[in-house]
Amino acid sequence: MCGIVGHVRPLAPVISSAATPEVEGRTLCVLLDGLGRLEYRGYDSAGVALVGPSGLQVAKAAGKLENLRAAIAAEPPAPATAGIGHTRWATHGGPTTENAHPHRAGSIAVVHNGIIENFRALRAEVEEAGRALLSDTDTEIAAHILDMDFTARLAEATAADPSADPAQVLVESMRAVTERLEGAFALLAVTSLAPEAIVAARRSSPLVIGLGDGENFLGSDVAAFVAFTSRAAEVGDDQILLLRPDSVTVWDKDGCIVEPKGWEVSWDASAAVKGGYETFMDKEIHDQPAAVADTLLGRVDERGEIQLDEMRIDPAVLRSVDKIIVVACGTAAYAGHVAKYAIEHWCRVPVEIELAHEFRYRDAVVSEKTLTVAISQSGETMDTIQAVRHAREQGSKVLAIVNAYGSTIAREADAVLYTHAGPEVAVASTKAFLAQITACYLLGLYLAQLRGNKWPEEVADYLAKLGEMPDKVQWILDEQQSVVRALGAELADRSSFLFLGRHVGFPVALEGALKLKELAYVHAEGFAAGELKHGPIALVEEGLPVFVIVPTPRRPILHDKVLSNVQEIRARGARTIVVAEEGDDAVDAFAEHIIRIPAAPTLMAPLLTVVPLQIFAAALAGAKGLDIDQPRNLAKSVTVE
Ligand code: F6R
């Protein structure tokens, strides 16, 4: 996550705009407006770098954008011709002013969205060159590497031709440096030596161009510049860009100039904060492929081994663990419930799932050999905080799986494994759930690797399968969304729903029911499919909508049992809505509606099967005219017990 914005205009501008009448300060205005619209992507700190006749100026501040605005108001920068801005969601290094972007090195300033995976090796190079690092970020290292290359290349170029263009040299440096970077990045750089230029590069992190008249823009998404232009153009992976006031040049990875594909943005600035989606929940559902991919980023080293940098618990302690207790609430607890199946299977360690508020008040068996895993999106849920404290008092080490950097749970735990889902604004959790499962799986595979339960090739195989999940989630969003939305609208008048699942499908059923309860205010219950006959089947009556999560047919022992359950409820009049793999024709005869997911191994399936349930709940609530982002009686972070 993180939001980036860039703007370039001529040295002697003749630009007038109702939005920013003060021509002199237009670049700063554009950057601050863009950062305001991108603040949903991160709000730990913000900063801008400006270049112009007065050289390079950088202003940054920890906390929300208003702190940066105040800092700028106190010390207004001189007018600029190009500028880059950043609003941060901390990954490497805490949310401090030092760690805020832009990062400066020599004549250069850089902003970055993404994670540079090989930053440790690059850091050694920067330190060897005798350069002082002021922050803990991977980005500052990239800034120095870029400046070192640029300084050397520019000296060579001007020796050969004193009129060599520094902007063009910076393009060459950007190409050379990004070839050495591993991971994901959208990088923007300005230099005081070329004050009418921005040079940028992108790999697996979002970046779009905004095309103006006599000025040009860059942004993490079009929200960054939609107040100033509605003409946008795509940036492909591994492309390098040079933006000048009157031109945009794009090179592909072979160094050939390519024509960027343009489009007209169809929504206006008022929708920009939601990235063009109607609700934050809709946006966050669509963020899910990135949430999974970003949570996986930077966690595997060059030998293919999982490295959890934040794992500050002694490996000897982790080897001696004889039980794991997951403490969490709501959706986070269901993520832990999914993970139980995987961690027990991979590590042969028993995993208990405890609702955090129950754990504390019963006499749970906890010892120094227990690893407590606290899962929380906000890191501020009071029930989970208290459970963390209780576990530590009992001598257990606590590992937190948290989304919000520097939150209370992250600070109080012995170690933190961050999910990189970015800020989740809608009250109902969606992308955090997928990121939590992903992080739990990384933990499970890490423990299996450490304790020797799995061969390196087996760990690598699971990681490869996890790596395929973002594309599979995207397939559901692309191919199944309209069917699921239509079903949500069609069933908007129903007052009761059941959700059934077996094995990892069981916590997914619980999560599907929770989403519907909290968003649409209808009765919804999730059951283990095998439990139905032991009582709940009495609820089934003519026309009752029942969602059934069907396991992959490649696990017949699970698949066939669930199919029997579908037949049992169908025979009693239920309206069966089946979530099943593509190509699983066995469900056709028993399903009134079929929602397809791409084929995936059993343990990976929850990352897919939950997505249609989220879309369904939001669509049904939308059809009822309810407030999807802020359902009644709920708060995003439950900070009381
Ligand atoms: C449901 C939901 C809640 C949270 C729960 C824990 O959509 O969002 O059930 O999952 O309140 O919150 P965190 O993860 O912040 O501890």
**Would you say the CB of residue 138 lies under 6 angstroms from ligand 1?**
no
Residue 39 covered by a domain: yes
Provide the residue range defining the domain that includes 358: 274-467
**Would you say the CB of residue 158 lies under 6 angstroms from ligand 1?**
no
CA 199 to the chain's CA centroid: 25
Residue 499 covered by a domain: yes
**Would you say the CB of residue 637 lies under 6 angstroms from ligand 1?**
yes
DSSP string covering 321-344, please? Answer: --EEEEEE-HHHHHHHHHHHHHHH
**What is the residue with the minimal CA distance to atom 10 of ligand 1?**
331
Residue 331 CA: nearest ligand 1 atom is: 10
**What is the residue with the minimal CA distance to atom 5 of ligand 1?**
330
**Would you say the CB of residue 192 lies under 6 angstroms from ligand 1?**
no
Active-site annotation holder among 2, 329, 347, 440: 2
Residue 638 covered by a domain: no
pLDDT of residue 23: 58
State the distance from the centre of ligand 1 to the C-alpha of 380, rounded, in angstroms: 10
- For 234, phi then psi, to 5°, come to -80, 155
The answer on 560 and 418 residing in a single domain is: no
Q: Which of 215, 243, 272 is the last residue of a domain?
A: 272
Residue 432 CA: nearest ligand 1 atom is: 14
Radius of gyration (Cα) for the chain, nearest Å?
A: 26
The three-state DSSP-derived secondary structure of 192-220 is CCCCCCEEEEEEECCCEEEECCCCEEEEC
State the distance from the centre of ligand 1 to the C-alpha of 373, rounded, in angstroms: 15
Residues 395-423: tens digit of each pLDDT: 999 999 998 776 789 889 999 999 988 88
Q: What is the CATH number of the domain that holds 81?
A: 3.60.20.10
Residues 593-626: tens digit of each pLDDT: 999 999 999 999 999 999 999 999 999 999 999 9
Is-catalytic flag, 636?
yes
Residue 218 covered by a domain: yes
Q: Are 284 and 257 in contact (CB under 8 A)?
A: no
The answer on 564 and 450 residing in a single domain is: no
The answer on 129 and 60 residing in a single domain is: yes
Residue 369 and residue 389: Cα distance in Å, rounded?
16
Residue 576 covered by a domain: yes
State the distance from the centre of ligand 1 to the C-alpha of 429, rounded, in angstroms: 6
Which whole number is the average pLDDT over 145-165?
A: 97
**Pairing label, strands 55-62, 45-52:** antiparallel
**Would you say the CB of residue 381 lies under 6 angstroms from ligand 1?**
yes
The answer on 197 and 177 residing in a single domain is: yes
**Would you say the CB of residue 331 lies under 6 angstroms from ligand 1?**
yes
What are the C-alpha distances in Å from 291 to residues 96, 246, 295, 419, 425?
Answer: 23, 36, 6, 8, 14
Predicted confidence band at 19 (pLDDT cuts at 50, 70, 90)? Answer: very low
The answer on 46 and 135 residing in a single domain is: yes
Calculate what percentage of the chain has a pLDDT beyond 90. 77
The answer on 331 and 185 residing in a single domain is: no
Predicted confidence band at 22 (pLDDT cuts at 50, 70, 90)? Answer: very low
Residue 636 CA: nearest ligand 1 atom is: 8
Residue 333 CA: nearest ligand 1 atom is: 10
Residue 316 CB contacts under 8 Å (≥ 6 apart), including other chains: none
Q: Which residues of 461-486 are buried (b: 16+ CB within 10 A; e: fewer)?
A: ebbeebeebbebbbbbeeebbebbbe
Q: What is the DSSP letter of 528?
A: E
The answer on 555 and 431 residing in a single domain is: no
Residue 561 covered by a domain: yes
Q: Residue 57: helix, strand or coil by DSSP?
A: strand
Q: How many domains does the chain have?
A: 3
**Would you say the CB of residue 27 lies under 6 angstroms from ligand 1?**
no
The answer on 140 and 51 residing in a single domain is: yes
Which whole number is the average pLDDT over 370-390?
A: 94
pTM, 2 dp: 0.78
Q: What is the CATH number of the domain that holds 495?
A: 3.40.50.10490
Residue 638 CA: nearest ligand 1 atom is: 11
**Pairing label, strands 183-191, 545-549:** unpaired
Residue 155 covered by a domain: yes
The answer on 184 and 153 residing in a single domain is: yes
Q: Which of 437, 467, 497 is the last residue of a domain?
A: 467
The answer on 503 and 437 residing in a single domain is: no
The answer on 332 and 247 residing in a single domain is: no
Whether the upstream peptide bond of residue 102 has omega within 30° of 0, thus cis, is: yes
Residue 637 covered by a domain: no
Q: Which of 272, 294, 314 is the last residue of a domain?
A: 272
Is-catalytic flag, 397?
no
The answer on 265 and 282 residing in a single domain is: no
